[in-house]
Chains A and B, each alone.
Chain A
Amino acid sequence: MMETTDSNRNLLSVEKIDTYIGQFHILEGVSVDVAKGSITVLLGRNGAGKTTTLKTIMGLTPPRNGRVIFDGQEIQGKQAFKIANFGIGYVPENRAVFRALTVMENLKLAERKKGDLDRHADFIFELFPDLERLSKLKGNQLSGGQQQMLAVARALVPDNKLLLIDEPSEGLAPILIQQMMEAIRKLRETTTILLVEQNFIMASQLAERYVIIDDGKSVHRGLMSDLVQNQDLIHQYLGASIQAPISTSEAQ
């Protein structure tokens, strides 16, 4: 009984997916639930399978087994463009903006219906004022932080119900991390977000729920507020590197 009420509240349920890349078994039974209107974060070491989980949901690396249920529909095995058109926006890692296109063209390309950009332009440029100023520059002329903002902005052009955001803070200067956090916080007012984030401070301040992925398995899940208290768990799965930022945040 609990199960059914749970899945009703979930916008996205990933159920025991197995994903292979070539012969490599990357994901072994990963399960992730994302409640409507929440931010859920995937945590784990480098190479644990977080990015592959997002790609599998998106249909870019289709799973061999398991189900992905989005908004009441099974979407696993469908082509990526169809999955996107269900209302999922994808912000890949490494700021995959299109270098040969201008900022404006990058945004235009993300339109699913004519006029998507016009309707959301005000919101997007309020969130990332830099982009309006830079709209005529090409992707390869932007700085790393500007590219990251463009990558997020691109996912906001159509009406998406769910955003998959991969490492938005990667390689950003501290001041830009703040701006990115503000932006994501504002986004959660209107959409649901599944985040991959290495920066534990950022993750802990943004997300309500977490799923830890380790060696291709989802090993732990729960409320972020519980995880912050659980130093052992953090140490075991996220490594010692997280320790330092936590102590600084506590020092503040």
Chain B
Amino acid sequence: MSHNSKKLLYSVIGVLVVAGVVFGLYTYAGQEAFIRTTLSGLTLGSLFFLVAAGLTLIFGLMDVLNFAHGSMFMIGAYTGWQFYTNPTFIFGVLPLVLAFATTVMLIPVIKPRLVRLDLSEAWQKSLPKLAYIAALLVAVLALVKFDILGLAKTAMVAATTTSSNPLAELSPQEPLPRFLLRILLLMLSGAFVAVGLSKPGNRTEVSAPEPLKKRLILPVVLFVLTIIFTLVRESASEGVLLMNGNLRFALAIIAATLFGFLLGALIEITMIRPLYVRSFFIVLMTLGMSFVMRELVQVLWDPLAYQMVRPPLFAQPGRATTIAEWLMNGSSTISIAGVTFPTYRLFVILLGVVMFVFVTLLMNRSRLGMIIRAGVQDPQMVEALGINVKRVFTLVFALGVALASLGGIGAAPFLPVQPMMGDQYQMQGFITVVIGGMGSYVGAFVGAMILGMARAFGDYFALKLQLSPTIAEASTVIIMIIVLILRPQGLFGKKD
């Protein structure tokens, strides 16, 4: 009982403090400045939430601190921006990746045969290594003189010209026969990788396989996609660019989120999974990975900052007075209680709220959410119930990266797209997670909104009282310190 009344007391004090702060700010700043700053804060808070939600889920379930999360935010922004501005690069590279993946995914098909081979121990050890070396050589051969930088540069041209014809910047792809050769070689390379990963001759890996039909589904689907995307390399880019801008933006969001999801899954399976037993190395590994990603992006698109054009729904000059008017005219600003506010930022707020609802439903209504909530406490016991916890880890990591990636493309139309754009968000994401409590998505949402507000009002005060603008950044750290002193486990964290 005393526990409950204590909880009630804290909640009442919390509500009173929040109400007091809100009232104080309102009377001090006046209605217009208050609403404007609040909306800016919510915009920032939404982005912080998209970054922090992934961080907190991943940390809560797997105790992994992902220091590459900010880079994944940045990658999401680049992917979406590329897709929206000039998808030549994406469609030029996609068939190659698909071809490689097709044969790698043959593992479930060939593994049951390969593990039954009679091989001496020495061969069992060296065969996978030989296969990997062969795969690497073939892959290098496949990509000889493949002008990947040229493909990437086409997007830079698109970003710097202001031609009215969107197709003017399209550059031709390689001739088909040559490209097909690359596809075939990459499939061969993937097949070598699959042989290596199947651990030929290792009989401890024998287990009853699923029916062949089921095992063939994924490789066949990938193969068909490879063929389709090889044939439409040029027309797909054209088609995307001729599309209605809003639809193209929606597709860009989906492309960035999906890419984030797949990238996250790939990273978890290949690099993080072997390190769970040495969790400190994961921190170093993800930190290193963030540098690699940043440098790769700089190689491809130079260390420049790009401005993504806002989609037409948010681009027309003029101020809408109602939401309906905005949706009809695509106005760039809207009047909210007499305050002029960019419509795109409203969209970002909406994105954050929608994703919060999505995560809430996922955690509370789905079996996956149930597994995650149980796994946070005791992953071993979850596994003992017959649930493949490793797969759940992969899924959650992928989901977290997808959310960060979504945040990146969400931010791209109003933040400069540049290699460092995610760093600040990663920092704020970590602070958010500390404030909200490790592992709590509700905490991540509340913490993100608090931080967003702190940043926005910090900027406001810095401007009004002529303080240093760094006061806004410092304020979030000060809030974190106060929370750590009063409630070390975070606002919504559970004591262990």
Are A and B subunits of one complex? yes
Chain A residue at smallest Cβ distance from B388? A81
Tell which of A77, A96, A109, A158 has the most Cβ of chain B within 10 Å: A109
Q: Does A142 lie at the interface of the complex (its beta carbon under 8 Å from any beta carbon of B)?
A: no
Q: Name the CB-closest residue of A to B374.
A: A98
Give the distance in Å from the alpha carbon of A154 to the alpha carbon of B367 in the complex. 16
**Range of interface residues on chain A?**
20 to 34
| Identity of the chain A residue whose Cβ is nearest the Cβ of B382 in the assembled complex | A109
In the complex, whether A58 has a CB less than 8 A from a CB of chain B is yes
Interface: B298 (CB within 8 A): no
**Do the beta carbons of B373 and A98 come within 8 Å of each other?**
yes
Is A110 in contact with chain B by the CB < 8 A criterion?
A: yes
State A108–B371 Cα separation when bound (angstroms): 10
Q: How far is the CB of B253 from chain A (nearest CB, A)?
A: 32
Query: What is the predominant secondary structure among interface residues of chain B facing chain A?
Result: helix
A80–B386 alpha-carbon span in the complex (Å) = 7
B384 and A80 contacting across the interface, CB-CB below 8 Å: yes
A154-B383 in contact (CB<8A): no
What's the nearest-Cβ distance from chain B to residue A232, in Å? Answer: 37
Of the residues A80, A84, A96, A112, contact of B378 by C-beta under 8 Å: A96
Residues of B within 8 A of A215 (CB): none
CA distance A96 to B386 in the complex (A): 15
Whether A84 lies near B373 (C-beta < 8 A) is no
CA–CA, A80 and B389, complex, Å: 10
Q: In the assembled complex, which residues on chain B have CB atoms less than 8 Å from the CB atom of A119?
A: none
Instruction: Report which residue of B207, B374, B390 has the largest number of chain A beta carbons within 10 angstroms of its beta carbon.
Output: B374
**CA–CA, A96 to B379, complex, Å?**
11
Tell me, yes or no, whether A82 is within 8 Å of chain B by CB: yes
Establish whether residues B374 and A109, one from each chain, have CB atoms under 8 Å apart when the complex forms.
Answer: yes
Do A101 and B385 touch across chains, with their CB atoms under 8 A apart? no
Question: Which residues 378-437 in B have Cβ within 8 Å of A in the complex?
Answer: 378, 380-390
**B376 at the binding interface (Cβ < 8 Å):** yes
Distance in Å: Cβ of A29 to nearest Cβ of chain B = 21
Judged by a CB distance under 8 angstroms, whether B377 is at the interface is yes
Closest Cβ neighbor of B372 among chain A residues: A100
Q: Which residues of B contact A109 (CB under 8 A)?
A: 367, 370-371, 374, 382, 385, 387
* Bound form: Cα–Cα A60–B385 in Å: 11
Contacting B at CB under 8 A, from A58-103, are 58, 60, 77-82, 84-85, 90, 92, 96, 98-101
Q: Does B163 contact A (CB under 8 A)?
A: no
Can you give 9 contacting A-B residue pairs, CB < 8 Å?
A77-B204, A78-B207, A79-B383, A79-B390, A81-B384, A81-B388, A90-B381, A96-B378, A105-B370
* A residues apposed to B, CB below 8 Å: 58, 60, 77-82, 84-85, 90, 92, 96, 98-101, 105-106, 108-110, 112, 154, 158
Which B residues contact A (CB, under 8 angstroms)?
204, 207, 367, 370-371, 373-374, 376-378, 380-390
Known: A80-B384, A81-B386, A82-B207. 11 other contacts (CB 8 A): A58-B384, A60-B380, A84-B385, A84-B386, A90-B385, A92-B384, A99-B377, A106-B374, A109-B367, A109-B387, A158-B386
